[in-house]
Amino acid sequence: MANDAPATPSLDEPLVAVACSRTPRSDSFQTMNELSTPLKRDRTTQAAEGLPRWRWTTAELVRLAELGAFTAEDRFELIGGEIVPMSPVGRRHEVLAENLERHLRSREPAGVHVVKEPQFNLADDAYAKPDILVRPAAVQSYDVRGDTVLLVIEVAASSLSFDLSTKAQLYARHGVRDYWVVDAATLVTTVHRGPGPEGYAEVREVAATEPLTPLLAPELGLRMADLKLD
């Protein structure tokens, strides 16, 4: 995606899947009676395949957030216009992500920044919240796009299959050149490189004891086995 893509509004709070109605107008929402309390949502739904669904944009979700539709506990990502819940994280995931981010930050070279859980705007109808994003220092996290990000890392436990399939396709389509999925249980890292419309050309597993070297920020190289997770 081009770096001069239209700016995408930011969501100040994390979000989770929501069943909200939207009226079929191309320019704005119909009056929603200014929501005064967050919507009550006990569970998500899964639409039957083949049925048409609304394609949401980040701008529309920002508007709903302004109307009070979401709470601070809501966490989701927008993938291809569809709202996808983020998996809850356990202790192993949280400890690994925190220590990995601290380790990478301690090795930051000049001109590179390591950021934890930013809103990664990929397109008008797609944003993700990766566990770790490495970006050029000259580009703010909000403005980073697929073709300017240096490295995207997802730490995966219950989300492992999703991160290796749907997330990998998403990042490949938007030109993310270096994408790692770290299995929180085994510390095996699946490295994806060579993005294209059909996915990544190169996918390989790296054991926890083997060295990992970021393609675009080699100074951040490490071995997952060296992280302290106790």
pLDDT in tens, 5-61: 444 444 444 333 333 434 343 444 444 444 445 555 555 556 656 777 778 887 787
What rounded mean pLDDT belongs to the chain? 81
Residue 11 structure tokens = 């969501």
Number of H helices, E strands in the chain: 4, 10
Q: Does residue 6 form part of some domain?
A: no
pLDDT at 35: 46
Cβ proximity of 35 and 96 under 8 Å: no
| Domain membership of residue 202 as a residue range | 91-226
Q: Does residue 42 form part of some domain?
A: no
Q: Does residue 201 form part of some domain?
A: yes
Distance, in Å, from the CA atom of 181 to the CA atom of 145, rounded to the nearest integer, reads 19
Q: Does residue 211 form part of some domain?
A: yes
Q: Does residue 160 form part of some domain?
A: yes
Beta carbons within 8 Å of 164's beta carbon, 6+ residues apart: 156, 181, 190
Q: Does residue 76 form part of some domain?
A: no
- Cα 114 to Cα 92, 134, 151: the distances in Å are 21, 5, 9
* pTM for the structure as a whole: 0.74
State the pLDDT confidence band at 226, using cuts at 50, 70 and 90.
Answer: very high
What is the C-alpha end-to-end distance of the chain, expressed in Å?
Answer: 40
Domain count, the chain: 1
Provide the CATH number for the domain around residue 126: 3.90.1570.10
Cβ proximity of 129 and 120 under 8 Å: yes
